[in-house]
Amino acid sequence: MEHQPLRDQVAVVTGGGGGIGGGISRLFARAGAIVVLNDIDTELAETARAEIVADGGHVIMVVGDIRDRVVVAAVRDAALAAGTGRIDVLVNNVGDYRPNGRFVATTEDDWAALYAMNLEHVFRCTHAVIPTMIEQRSGSIVNVSTVEAFRGIPGNAVYSAFNAGVNAFTKSLAVELGRDGIRVNAIAPDMADTLQTPASAMLRGRDPSLVECWIPVGRFGRPDDYAQVALFLASDQSRYVTGHVVPVDGGTTAASGWYGRPERKGWTNLPDSP
């Protein structure tokens, strides 16, 4: 039988229908978790639910916008009702870089929208589940931020600032909750081929072999690539790891501006140079 590091654990995944969250909910179910799958998109949630059930997994679906405090409460209540009143894992996955554009052209409404989408619900979901985790003296929280919280990204200053907030929240909360038996970590993705950033949009009709020049491991990330790291952080395998943000980026952070030349003719940090 497949190793099941989350066997019978209740795991909440926000945005668990598609993209990276879809990979996480499917993998966590295979790892034995009772997955409480929240998604705003009924079709994506239902597809993930059906696949998990067909695979012999356990899932409870809570369709709704995680920016809405009523939905957060519904997710928490569903988690408490799903098993034995425990909440073992929370994955705060929802986030989006849009609306983006040059900072000078953004509005206060844009900033508020990015806050709601990238940071506020992380606070709210975490605040909703930690009383249970503190009471049970165990729990693992995995946040999903972005490599753009480490490096500068033009046209996305506010998104990057709120995700740096996710990283700082991860570290501070890990210190605060360590003695309660709760760990808090994050993954920082890059280059995922998802609904939000499809490979076709990143390529924009260019030669797909260019991906080898852009990403050290030579391909875009698949949802399961990120889910595997989230599983490690969620499970007891990482029992002595807390307060860390793990880049899951195929090497882009390490490359930090270096690109392979076509046909493996060395590297350059001046991509337009001959």
Residue 218 φ/ψ region, left for φ over 0, alpha for ψ in the -120 to 50 degree band, beta for the rest = left
Q: Is the peptide bond before 271 cis (omega within 30 degrees of 0)?
A: no
The kind and range of the H/E element at 121 are: helix 121-136
Three-state SS for 221?
A: strand
Nearer to ligand NAD by Cβ, of 223 and 260: the residue is 223
Report, in Å, the least distance between residue 185 CB and ligand NAD: 15
Nearer to ligand NAD by Cβ, of 3 and 140: the residue is 140
The contact pattern for ligand NAD, residues 140-159, with x = CB under 6 A and - = no contact, is ----x-x-------------
Does 247 interact with ligand NAD (rule: CB under 6 A)? no
DSSP string, 48-94: HHHHHHHTT-EEEEEES-TTSHHHHHHHHHHHHHHTTS---EEEE--
Does 196 interact with ligand NAD (rule: CB under 6 A)? yes
Please select the residue that binds ligand NAD; options are 66, 90, 142, 157, rule is CB under 6 A.
Answer: 66
**Which residue among 97, 159, 226, 259 is the active-site one?**
159
Does 197 interact with ligand NAD (rule: CB under 6 A)? yes
Nearer to ligand NAD by Cβ, of 4 and 222: the residue is 222
Q: Supply φ then ψ for residue 44, to 5 degrees.
A: -65, -40
Number of H helices, E strands in the chain: 10, 9
Q: Supply φ then ψ for residue 56, to 5 degrees.
A: 90, 10
Nearer to ligand NAD by Cβ, of 199 and 241: the residue is 199
Closest CA to 169 of 236, 75, 90, 77: 90
Tokens of 47: 């597809």
Report, in Å, the least distance between residue 251 CB and ligand NAD: 14
The answer to whether residue 97 is catalytic is no
Tokens of 125: 């979901």
Does 20 interact with ligand NAD (rule: CB under 6 A)? yes
The kind and range of the H/E element at 232 are: helix 223-234
Among the residue ranges 5-13, 52-60, 62-70, 83-91, the one whose residues contact ligand NAD (CB under 6 A): 62-70
Does 60 interact with ligand NAD (rule: CB under 6 A)? no
Which residues form the interface with ligand NAD (CB under 6 A)?
14-15, 17-22, 38-41, 44, 65-67, 93-96, 144, 146, 189-192, 194-197
Catalytic residues: 159
